[in-house]
């Protein structure tokens, strides 16, 4: 059985995306990268750019699952508001395309990928490199985070499927 999960690390200036493909218990990376928007551009135009970047990505990769990281509240409420708005676009697109969604917390992503819910960013990136057998660590942090979120989405959905079936 082959499963495809699109992982999203939401952000207004840079949204990371990564596709994890699981086949016969082996997980590999598909497409990954970032959608960037320019500071100083009106928020609504930036959100439209993100929407327009995600639509063809979803159509190209045809994921059965979308994993988007929950927002970790920081001190900057403007940043948090913008990320919430971007998450809204992501959730809307998932619903529009009929894609089930999982929403792991940052600590759950770190736990799933590193075995430690308090792992450092560099450790997460190194484990993504190893788990997905990449040629190199992704240069963009947000893309590496999105791949980790996708891997976590696959793990969380597998766990849910097993518990629903009584395994």
Q: Determine the Cα angle at 159 with ends 157 and 164, to 5°.
A: 95
Whether 145 is catalytic: no
- 9, 22, 108, 145: the active-site residue: 9
Residue for token pair 């699952």: 65
Q: Which is the catalytic residue, given 22, 108, 142, 145?
A: 142
**Cβ contacts of 41-49, under 8 Å, gap ≥ 24:** 43/12, 43/82, 43/85, 46/12, 47/12, 47/85, 47/86, 47/89
Pick the catalytic residue from 31, 52, 64, 69.
Answer: 69
* Nearest alpha carbon to residue 35 among 13, 2, 58: 13
**Annotation marks residue 9 as catalytic:** yes
Q: Tell me which residues are annotated as active site.
A: 9, 69, 142
């Amino acid at each position: 059985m082959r499963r495809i999960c699109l992982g999203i690390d939401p952000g207004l200036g840079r949204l990371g995306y990564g596709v994890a493909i699981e086949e016969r218990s082996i997980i590999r990376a598909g497409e990954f990268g970032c959608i960037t928007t320019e500071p100083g551009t009106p928020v609504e135009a930036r959100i439209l750019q993100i929407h327009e970047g995600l639509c063809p990505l979803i159509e190209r990769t045809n994921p059965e699952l979308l994993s988007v990281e929950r927002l970790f509240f920081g001190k900057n409420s403007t940043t948090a508001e913008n990320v919430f708005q971007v998450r809204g676009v992501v959730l809307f697109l998932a619903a529009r395309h009929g894609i089930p969604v999982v929403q792991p917390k940052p600590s759950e992503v770190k736990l799933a990928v590193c075995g430690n819910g308090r792992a450092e960013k560099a450790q997460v990136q190194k484990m993504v490199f190893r788990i997905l057998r990449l040629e190199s660590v992704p240069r963009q942090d947000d893309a590496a985070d999105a791949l980790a979120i996708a891997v976590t989405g696959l793990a969380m959905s597998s766990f849910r499927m097993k518990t629903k079936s009584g395994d």
